[in-house]
Amino acid sequence: MDRNRMFWASRRGMLELDLVLLPFLENVYESLEQEDKERYWALLDSEDQDLFAWFLKRTDPEDPELLKIVKIIRDNTGMQID
């Protein structure tokens, strides 16, 4: 996916998600393995409410592939909420 398209797709309707996804995109995304980049692309198709719940560990995605990228984002964006 083109970097500009990914940037705009990472901008969400919730400021809280922008504060998680945009720094992740800027600081971590480029260092990901290709499979994890593809998981991130798939994650962008998720609903904002689901993303918010996943990042705050209220729930986890049922899809194990999405769970992998959610954990990477949690571990790299200060979302280590216990």
Contact 18, 7 (CB under 8 A): no
Cα torsion 48, 41, 54, 7: sign: negative
42, 12, 67, 74 alpha-carbon torsion, rounded to 10°: 140
User: Does this model's pTM top 0.85?
Assistant: yes
Per-residue pLDDT reduced to its tens digit, 24-67: 999 999 999 999 999 999 999 999 999 999 999 999 999 999 99
Compute the distance between CA of residue 4 and CA of residue 62 in angstroms, rounded to an integer. Answer: 29
Q: What does the domain layout of the chain look like in residue ranges? A: 3-76
Q: Would you place residue 80 in the very low, low, confident or very high pLDDT band (cuts 50, 70, 90)? A: low
| Sequence-separated (6 or more) residues with CB below 8 Å from residue 5 | none
Report the top-level CATH class of 3-76.
mainly alpha
